[in-house]
Amino acid sequence: MNKDQVKGRIEQAKGKVKEMTGTITGDSLLKAKGKLQQADGKVDAALGDLEEALKTPAPKE
């Protein structure tokens, strides 16, 4: 697991907390910011996943 994967998953969790807080308090702006932060985290995590996939050598036939 690399730092992009970790950063992405942390951002997803923080975004989820913001989204839920916005839902509970009725703050639609906070809810939207949470969803945006989750999406940003997913991108970071996907980038990290891609980096990891590129590090592993392709199987030989």
Domain ranges of the chain: 3-52
For residue 12, what pLDDT is reported?
A: 97
Instruction: HSE, CB side, 13 Å, CA atoms: give it for residue 39.
Output: 6
50-53, Cβ contacts within 8 angstroms, sequence gap of 24 or more = 51/2, 51/4, 52/1, 52/2, 52/5
| pTM of structure | 0.83
For residue 59, what pLDDT is reported?
A: 77
| Tokens read off for 58 | 């392709």
Give 11-55 pLDDT, tens digit per residue: 999 999 999 999 999 999 999 999 999 999 999 999 999 999 888
